[in-house]
């Protein structure tokens, strides 16, 4: 490769931290026309992770797309993370990825070997998922961006939604939090090698293993935790389910170094947008400040958040641990209260 470039220096916001805030997005989407089709099982009404369209009694298509600015300096790592993040939406619906298309924006004066490494990373991750890469589209842009449009298969009678959580459910999160805070520290050249390696490994990991474990149990609601942070996505789940979600911040799985970096004020701007969005629906917090910031930290290629029956928790956690996942039982669902989100 002729040119050595720190890709994260090319964008003011990295990865899913570059997403438009949930409050702004909801306002825009609310003005769009509504589409009515009896086979459209999930559309835009519930802020879900992907669309689900029924093809037959036994088959539905999951459709999603996701792309973002560099979240890693190494182009191959960036490609893997962006692909894992896009594939995650299919896993969050309980489905299996089948085909993918590249989405690329790339500066015209940058070394094309860098683009080749980004695409190789994405292709390897798609192959790892057991899907096929079938093409894509590229444009010239001053800031590199990469992601995928993904189609998956699911049983139309057994897919998951981000609503349907029931009072008494326990909440399980399948990856550690803090990616946004750590990536802010990396961009400021303050992160340790241990922390850097940990966040890269977490972001590159597919949510396939978590999905396969959850498929063996009754899942009342599920979403993946990405740019809106745990707090934003939990708020969406609570509102759509007409329930209150209680998060025990002491039980959150956390990436190494996060407490130190958060206490230094290395909080991405997206965290404040996520906190503002949740606040519109009511947030009560007794958590220490850095843990509250962690709840709203925008994640890139984060874990699955699932509402499950209390009686299944022990066996689910046993299987997640056996799969090598750093998961946690992080809270519970209760009946609708004054607060939509409660942090303790």
The residues annotated as belonging to the active site are 16
226 carries a ligand binding annotation: no
136 carries a ligand binding annotation: yes
Q: For residue 16, what is the DSSP state?
A: G
Work out whether strand 60-68 and strand 170-173 pair parallel, antiparallel, or are unpaired.
unpaired
Residue 265 backbone class (left: φ over 0; alpha: ψ -120 to 50; beta: rest): left
77 carries a ligand binding annotation: no
Of the candidates 8, 4, 2, which has an alpha carbon nearest to the alpha carbon of residue 200?
A: 8
48 carries a ligand binding annotation: yes
- The token duo for 169 is 């459910």
3-state helix, strand, coil in the chain (%, to 5): 40, 25, 35
In this structure, the number of other CB atoms found within 10 A of the CB of residue 318 comes to: 11
Indicate the length of the chain as a whole number: 344
What are the E-state strand segments in 206-308? Answer: 219-224, 243-247, 283-285, 304-308
8 carries a ligand binding annotation: no
46 carries a ligand binding annotation: yes
89 carries a ligand binding annotation: yes
137 carries a ligand binding annotation: yes
49 carries a ligand binding annotation: yes
246 vs 69: CA distance, rounded Å: 32
Binding site feature residues for ATP: 19, 46-48, 66, 89, 136-138
Binding site feature residues: 19, 46-49, 66, 89, 136-138, 224
Binding site feature residues for Mg(2+): 49, 89, 224
């Amino acid at each position: 490769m002729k040119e050595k470039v720190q890709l994260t220096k090319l964008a003011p916001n990295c990865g899913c931290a570059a997403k438009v805030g949930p409050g702004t997005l909801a306002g825009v989407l609310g003005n769009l026309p509504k589409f009515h089709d009896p086979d459209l099982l999930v559309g835009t009404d519930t802020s879900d992770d992907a669309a689900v369209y029924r093809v037959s009694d036994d088959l539905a298509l999951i459709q999603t797309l996701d792309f973002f600015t560099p979240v890693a300096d190494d182009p191959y790592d960036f490609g893997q993370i962006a692909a894992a993040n896009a594939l995650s939406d299919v896993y969050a619906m309980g489905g299996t990825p089948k085909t993918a298309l590249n989405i690329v924006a790339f500066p015209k004066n940058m070394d094309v070997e860098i683009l080749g490494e980004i695409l190789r990373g994405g292709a390897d991750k798609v192959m790892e998922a057991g899907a096929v890469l079938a093409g894509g589209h590229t444009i010239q842009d001053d800031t590199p961006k990469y992601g995928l449009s993904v189609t998956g298969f699911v049983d139309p009678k057994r897919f998951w939604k981000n609503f349907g959580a029931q009072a008494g459910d326990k909440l399980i999160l399948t990856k550690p939090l803090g990616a946004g805070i750590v990536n802010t520290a990396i961009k400021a050249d303050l992160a340790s090698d241990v922390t850097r390696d940990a966040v890269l490994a977490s972001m590159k990991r597919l949510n396939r293993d978590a999905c396969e474990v959850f498929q063996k149990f009754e899942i009342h609601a599920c979403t993946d935790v990405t740019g809106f942070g745990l707090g934003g996505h939990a708020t969406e789940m609570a509102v759509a389910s007409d329930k209150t979600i209680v998060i025990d911040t002491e039980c959150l799985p956390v990436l190494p170094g996060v407490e130190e970096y958060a206490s230094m004020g290395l909080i991405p701007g997206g965290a404040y947008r996520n906190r503002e969005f949740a606040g519109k629906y009511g947030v009560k917090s007794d958590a220490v400040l850095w843990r509250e910031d962690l709840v709203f930290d925008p994640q890139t290629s984060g874990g699955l958040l699932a509402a499950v029956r209390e009686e299944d928790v022990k066996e689910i956690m046993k299987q997640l641990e056996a799969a090598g996942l750093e998961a946690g039982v992080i809270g519970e669902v209760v009946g609708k209260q004054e607060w939509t989100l409660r942090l303790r």
